[in-house]
Amino acid sequence: MADHALELIDIHCTFRSKDDRSQRYTAVADTTLRIGEGEFVSVVGPTGCGKSTLLNVGAGLLEPSSGTVRVFGQPLTGINARAGYMFQSEALMPWRSALDNVMVGLQYRGVADAQARRQAEQWLARVGLAGFGDRYPHQLSGGMRKRTALAQVLALDPDIILMDEPFSALDIQTRQLMENEVLELWAAKKKAVLFITHDLDEAIAMSDRVVVLSAGPATHPIGEFTIDLPRPRDVAEVRAHPRFVELHTQIWNVLRDEVLKGYAQQLKKAA
Ligand SMILES: Nc1ncnc2c1ncn2[C@@H]1O[C@H](COP(=O)(O)OP(=O)(O)OP(=O)(O)O)[C@@H](O)[C@H]1O
């Protein structure tokens, strides 16, 4: 069905255990996740449950042990060329200026230098960094580096955007500013977004749909909620909406036990 931008169908992912190489660890099992064209879907789950694993499968960076990935109806083989990714960690090249960091993906795609420069400048301006193109990553604040990374992804105009806790390292005010900016840019272009987060408030404030994953091993979806809050949204203001509070309670009721299980597992691993 072409009305899905990304489909992960009956995905299983097993890894060799880090502690005992003869053992296998099933991180993800029986997981089906579909993202419609233009839909903003968040995946929440306890720490270490398999959120990034699923995102990597959607990106084509990790081949699942079994299951199918489809991109606009076509089976995915290799890297997902219709997707752009934004990860938790810094992806900027420290030896390149902000402008060069945004330009590099365009040049790699064969865009001529002058045009790549023009487009990169436009994208830096759109994310609020006009005039900062000649700064190197170490000369930018954490929020500015995230904006540069966002411009880098959006400049390539991907049909699917995969985001793995992109703002978790930011202070709360910068984070909310960035979340609102992402929502504005998304509303203008309506790309399919798969957004991974620990933060239930962030997931509800941003999304059309929130999928809750169980604690591992064999993580799988255990709840799915349509977020019927009005748009456009301001992520700070929407938290006071009575429907937000209601949805938060409903989702947290599903998530709470999994978070406790995940936490207990982390403690056991650390012992
Ligand atoms: N390449 C790998 N080899 C072995 N185990 C792995 C590998 N990648 C992930 N895992 C394990 O699979 C599980 C899920 O990891 P994953 O990073 O997907 O979780 P997560 O939900 O994104 O974590 P976090 O919330 O901490 O970001 C973890 O137990 C992790 O140790």
Is pLDDT larger for residue 61 or for residue 2? 61
Average pLDDT, the chain: 92
Domain with CATH 3.40.50.300 in the chain: 4-82+158-270
Topology adopted by domain 4-82+158-270: Rossmann fold (3.40.50)
**Residue among 8, 17, 25, 219 whose CB has most ligand 1 atoms within 8 A, to mutate:** 25
DSSP secondary structure of 58-95: HHTSS--SEEEEEETTEEP-SS-TTEEEE-SS--S-TT
For residue 22, the CA-to-ligand 1 centroid distance in Å is 18
Q: Model confidence at 271, in pLDDT bands (50, 70, 90)?
A: confident
Residues with Cβ within 8 Å of 126's Cβ and at least 6 positions away in sequence, in order, are 151, 154, 185
Confirm whether pTM is higher than 0.95. Answer: no
Q: What is the ipTM of this complex?
A: 0.95
Question: Residue 231 has which token pair?
Answer: 């748009």
CA 18 to ligand 1: nearest atom: 4
Q: Are strands 74-75 and 24-36 parallel, antiparallel or unpaired?
A: unpaired
Please check the confidence at residue 1 and state whether its pLDDT lies above 70.
Answer: no
Please check the confidence at residue 253 and state whether its pLDDT lies above 70.
Answer: yes
Mean pLDDT of 194-216: 95
For residue 16, the CA-to-ligand 1 centroid distance in Å is 12
pLDDT digits (tens, 9 = 90+) for 40-93: 999 999 988 899 999 999 999 999 999 999 999 999 999 999 999 987 777 789
